Amino acid sequence: MKHTGKAWIALLMMTVLLVLSACGTKGQEAAPAAGGGSATAAQEQKVLRVGATGQSYPYAYKEDDKLQGFDVEVVEAVAKKLGYKVEWQLTEFSGVMAQLELGKLDTVSNQVAITPERKEKYDFTQTYAYAGSQVVVKDTNNEIHSVADLKGKTVAVVLGSNHAKNLEKQDPDKQIKIKTYESQEGTMNDVAYGRVDAYVNSRNVLLAQIKKNKLPLKLAGEPFVYEEVGFPFAKDEKHAKIREEFNKALDELRQDGTLKTLSEKYFDEDVTVKKAN
């Protein structure tokens, strides 16, 4: 009986040890699982799909195979504040706006003017820059001094750009010969070589391009339309939240001087404030 009792006690102790060992093993397994889940969550990064032409100097352009420009740096600064990784998708302007409408992009960063027509389709962030539709001509041209002198002339515009639409509104009788281009590439040279009489784009863009490329061009008068520039987003719950985050980040970038610094880097002036009339 004593032997049986000792055996029973030994068996009981072994069982307890096995149970404790199993609990310890489970605890050890649980810890890595929890840690692994945490690491996975930390590695997950929000992605922001942003469209641009990659040919819009100095807003969004490629140089030495690197995408850069005012709009590019503004988006990257916003994304950094919000914890987003930016995925850039490049195509011509009309195509990039079409992709936004189809939901293939979250927003477009390519000097997108805020207009009543676009506001019907998209919700825009606050204004982060201002642009004026401007006529540019060859520096020897003494006939064109403003948009009023473009009747009967051939004028270059980028297809789908708001500057093209602004020019069309100035020409209800269709007396201006409008020549459309898929991108800005070639437009300025065509003016310089006399292939077209003039070109219409943003004033600050034209000044930057003339300076960079030392082109024999000049501005004809003052901008005939001034517009606000913002980031467009789809009208849905997901993008309403992102747009709200964008606005907060833009406020911070304006307050800490980042927007002004970036503007002066690319334009030699602050295009983030409205010019006095």
Are both 253 and 181 inside the same structural domain?
no
- Judge whether 41 lies within some domain: no
Are both 176 and 202 inside the same structural domain?
yes
**pLDDT for position 161:** 86
Identify the domain containing residue 201 by its residue range: 131-226
Are both 124 and 211 inside the same structural domain?
no
Q: What separation in angstroms does the CA of 260 have from each of 91, 250, 256?
A: 28, 12, 9
- Judge whether 26 lies within some domain: no
Predicted confidence (pLDDT) at residue 42 exceeds the cutoff of 70? no
Mean pLDDT of all residues belonging to the chain: 86
Query: How far is residue 268's CA from residue 203's CA, in Å, rounded to a whole number?
Result: 13
- Judge whether 28 lies within some domain: no
- Judge whether 241 lies within some domain: yes
- Judge whether 112 lies within some domain: yes
Q: What is the CATH number of the domain that holds 56?
A: 3.40.190.10
Are both 116 and 170 inside the same structural domain?
no
- The string of pLDDT tens digits covering residues 234-272 is 999 999 999 999 999 999 999 999 999 999 999 999 999
- Judge whether 276 lies within some domain: no
Q: Which residue has the higher pLDDT, 141 or 24?
A: 141
Are both 53 and 108 inside the same structural domain?
yes
pTM for this prediction: 0.75
Are both 93 and 170 inside the same structural domain?
no
Give kind and range of the element (H or E) at residue 124: strand 122-124
- Judge whether 185 lies within some domain: yes
Question: What is the 3-state secondary structure of 80-98?
Answer: HHHCEEEEEEECCHHHHHH
Give kind and range of the element (H or E) at residue 217: strand 217-219
Confirm if 166 and 225 have CB atoms less than 8 A apart: yes
Q: Tokens 């890595």 correspond to what residue? A: 32
- The string of pLDDT tens digits covering residues 78-113 is 999 999 999 999 998 888 999 999 999 999 999 999
Q: Which residues contact 179 (CB under 8 A, 6 or more apart)?
A: 154, 155, 156, 157, 196
- Judge whether 277 lies within some domain: no
Residue 4 zone, left/alpha/beta (φ > 0; ψ -120 to 50; rest): alpha
What total of structural domains would you count in the chain?
A: 2
Are both 203 and 239 inside the same structural domain?
no
Are both 104 and 144 inside the same structural domain?
no
User: How many CA atoms are closer than 13 Å to the CA of 12, on its beta-carbon side?
Assistant: 6
Helix (H, G, I), strand (E, B) or coil at 21: helix
Confirm if 61 and 54 have CB atoms less than 8 A apart: yes
